[in-house]
Amino acid sequence: MKGTVFTGGRVLAGGALRETEVLVRYGRIAAVGGGLDRTGCEVVELAGNILSPGFIDVHTHGGAGVDVNAAGYDDLCRLSAFFASQGVTGFLASILTDTVEGTERAIDSVCAFMDAPARGAKCLGIHLEGPFLCQKYKGAMPPELLREGDAELFRRYQARAKGRVRYMTVAPEVPGVLDMLGEIRGECTLAIGHSDADYETAVRAIDAGVESCTHTFNVMSLFHQHRPAVMGAVLERDVFCEAICDGRHLHPGTVRMLLKCKGWDRVVAITDSMQAAGLPDGEYMLGVNPVTVTDGDAMISGTSIRAGSTLTLAQAVKKISAFTMAPPERVLPLLTLNPAKLIGEEHRRGEIAVGRDADFTVLSPELDVLATWSAGENIYAAAKE
């Protein structure tokens, strides 16, 4: 078999949706263009649907009954399969603030899964959401486990992960964090979040290497004309901004404003999902927190504090399209190329271009996920009616 040719649909390539063909060999994209030689190739007919780069979720705590902090290998296999059904080909496993022992156990589980991956979405590494976060905007973080900046502890986690901590969220006003940023700059992508920093401190953090804002607008100091705070700094500076586009965490008008202020190339759609994603309302866990989900809204049980979301990227792409009325070629990079750039993966994924991994999501014209391909292998196909 010489390869696989995807044909008969629209392909998101070169920033535009066009009727063309894609040739895959050895798990990578070998050619993009019309009239490719199909001799000896498997031919995949797209039947008028859209071939998009695979979705990438850089901030997720779980789904399908799986909580990343507590997950074992089999759990992560189930999570990987669930993500594939949502069009996701790559994700970071987000570890919520935990004890040192709990964090290391979660790191060990994720690394074991990465060493022996299942047939589903690839885990691209680890996201540490904490423990260097502030008490005022702790959100779902256990307050007794939050810590001052400690480069030695970060490096302990990074050594345990064999360099697989790709992304970490910090609050720069917490004592020791700015010094820590100066020490660990370049060792992973850094984000500001769960923070009460003033504008000046947030800018210092960006100058010290912070490249992103975690779930922008949520659990952080917000903009005031006399006190621009974290929001003022991240809107002004050239950093990426995560966005939970479920209609709960951000009003549709807020999503539109963020895209207008930052530009479509600097917003990263995330889920911040927890184990209830894909499941009915009920009682769940997020790290050490009991969570109650009502009408799809996850709250720490007995409080009005949101505990992540039940959003999937399959839902997010349709919601962003509805919020903005933008065409698919404008919306899809928020779930593909932008997250790839954020974590330094754009040389391998996020675009349909020669040399990239053959990670694809097949979408209907209505943006329903029909199939998912990873390294040229079909890892999910929607049931046909």
Residues with a known catalytic role: 272
Nearest to 282 by CA among 294, 299, 264: 294
- In angstroms, the Cα distances linking 383 to 49, 82, 150, 370 are 16, 14, 49, 8
Number of C-beta neighbours around residue 295 at 10 A: 7
Which residue, among 337, 364, 366, has the nearest Cα to 58 in the 3D structure? 337
What is the maximal distance between C-alpha atoms in the chain?
Answer: 66
φ/ψ bin of 207: left (φ > 0), alpha (ψ from -120 to 50), beta (otherwise): alpha
The dihedrals phi and psi of 306, each to the nearest 5 degrees, come to -65, 145
C-alpha separations of 380 from 119, 156, 284, 365, 371 in Å: 9, 37, 26, 18, 5
Burial of 283 (0-12, 13-18, 19+ CB in 10 A): exposed
* Signed CA dihedral, 295, 301, 302, 308: sign only: negative
Coil, strand, or helix at residue 269?
strand
- What are the angstrom distances between the C-alpha of 355 and each of 23, 24, 290, 350, 358? 11, 10, 44, 12, 9
How far is the C-alpha of 145 from the C-alpha of 102, rounded, in Å? 11
Q: How far apart are CA 69 and CA 257, in angstroms?
A: 34
Which residue type is seen at 377? E
